[in-house]
Structure formats: C-alpha cells, structure tokens
Amino acid sequence: MWPTLVKIGPLELGTFGLMAALGFLAAYLVFRAEVRRRGLPVPLASDALVAAIVGGLIGARLNFIIEYWEAFVVNPWSFIWSRYGFTWYGGVLGGALGVIIILKIRRQALGRYADAVAPALALGYVFGRAGCQLSGDGDYGVPSDLPWAMAYPRGLVPTTERVHPTPIYEMIIFLAIFFVLWRLRKLDKPPWWLFALYLVLAGVERFGIEYIRTNEPLAAGLTEAQLVSVALVVGGGLWLAFLEARRRRAESAR
C-alpha cells in the first residue's frame, strides 16, 4: 500500500486524492469528446466538469457522514476534513445534481448530455477504485484464501488478514462496462438510453460485489449499497423499457 505520496508538515498528498483527480480528468476528456461528437456546445463541458467535481465531493462526503453518523458526532471537524471517507453513490448523486443545475441554468437538454457522460462515469470510477486500492481505505472484501487475496497492513484502514481485493475486481468490471458503453454510444438510440443502460450495469456490478465486501446489512439482508443498486437497476430497466415501448409506438403510428 502507498497511502501518502508527499507529506510536508501537516500537508499531505495521498494516492486516493491523486487518483480521484486523474479520474475526473479522464472522465472529462471522454465527456468532452462525446459532447463534440454529438454536436453539443463544447465549452459547456468544462462548466459541467466543475459542477460534477464540487457536487460529487460534497455528495460523497455527506453520504459517508450519514452512513457513519455515530462516528461523525464524536469528532465532526476531523471527520469532515479526513482525506478518506467518500461514498460512491453520494458522489454520483451529488455530481449529477451539480451538472443538472448547470444545464438547467444554460437551458440545455439533459438527455443528450446524460448519454454523453455515461462512458465517462464508468471510466472515472476505475480511477477511483485504483485510489482505494493504493491507499487501502477499507473498501476491500471479506477474508479469502484465494491465490490473489491480499492484506493491507499499511493502508489507511489496515488489515493483516488476507482478503478479497475488491477494488481491483471493480476496476476490471467497470473497465469492461466503459468499453461496452463506448462501443454502443454510436447506436441510433433515443436520449437517455445509454445513461439508463449505465444505471443498470453499475447497479448490477455493485449489488454483486457487496456480497464479498465487509459492509453490514441494513434491511432485508441487504446492505445500503445493495438497496441503492436495486433502485438503480429497477429505475434504469424501467427507463429502457419505456424508451423501447415509445419507439415501437412511434413505428406503428407511421
């Protein structure tokens, strides 16, 4: 593990922060390329990036605070400014809200931008999980005796027990999701189709990986992440079904 890159007095540059920054950059480059290909205003991509970063960081931290409220109230200041403790679903929702606000202010159609950002979200997540792996921030899995199981003795949340390296699993899966979305992005589909597909794929991935994570069940034997995943899969699936039904109605009306 390599949690800290540089430390000067009280200031530290961690590997998680570095990978998060690289993730935002990679996602931005993919998003900008798609915005240009789709004939949308390219300068707006930079504004959307800033909104996604600000909203994503705030949302990810708020989600983490809610999830670990008892620990937060003990020492809220250090909890807020800790260099780890960001929850992915909160980041996605916060980032999405930030981008929606910007697009609404600029009076842009949301659907075309949502499809343009879908592959970028998947790629950005790959870098985020790379940061989790390098920093050992506790996102690893349950104990395992598989040949590739790992210990994280020098991580931010250390463990000397060999466990599933779930950040690596998720990096591989989300890289595959990125390539799927990237290959499908040029299909003649209605707005929101690619984004809805992203919701389904991301939800299925997280639901499955939770079975070998260390998170405690919240309700019905499912973790908080799994409950959100179910909502994503159902919502994305219904969205895809609605778009397909509307397409068939339009074809029959011709």
- 72-123 tens-digit pLDDT: 667 777 666 665 555 666 777 777 788 788 888 888 878 888 899 899 989 9
Higher pLDDT, 41 or 164: 164
Evaluate if residue 38 carries a pLDDT over 80.
yes
Evaluate if residue 235 carries a pLDDT over 80.
yes
What per-residue confidence (pLDDT) applies to 86? 59
Give the chain's domain count. 1
Is 54 inside any structural domain?
Answer: yes
Is 158 inside any structural domain?
Answer: yes
Higher pLDDT, 87 or 57: 57
Is 234 inside any structural domain?
Answer: yes
Is 32 inside any structural domain?
Answer: yes
What per-residue confidence (pLDDT) applies to 234? 97
Evaluate if residue 249 carries a pLDDT over 70.
yes
Q: What is the DSSP letter of 175?
A: H
**Structural domain for 140, as ranges:** 4-249
Is 202 inside any structural domain?
Answer: yes
Q: HEC states along 99-168?
A: HHHHHHHCCCCHHHHHHHHHHHHHHHHHHHHHHHHHHCCCCCECECCCCCCEEECCCCCCEEEEECCHHH
Is 222 inside any structural domain?
Answer: yes
What per-residue confidence (pLDDT) applies to 143? 95
Q: Is 241 helix (H, G, I), strand (E, B) or coil?
A: helix
Inter-CA distances, 173 with 136, 150, 186, 246, Å: 19, 19, 22, 31
Higher pLDDT, 242 or 56: 242
Is 175 inside any structural domain?
Answer: yes
The residues facing 163 across adjacent strands are: 143, 150
Is 254 inside any structural domain?
Answer: no
Evaluate if residue 3 carries a pLDDT over 90.
no
How far apart CA 67 and CA 88 sit, in angstroms, is 12
Higher pLDDT, 150 or 11: 150
What per-residue confidence (pLDDT) applies to 61? 76
Which residue in 88, 95, 83 sits closest to 64, CA to CA? 88
pLDDT digits (tens, 9 = 90+) for 171-225: 999 999 999 999 999 999 999 999 999 999 999 999 999 999 988 888 889 988 8
What per-residue confidence (pLDDT) applies to 214? 84
Q: Positive or negative CA dihedral for 19, 21, 22, 27?
A: positive
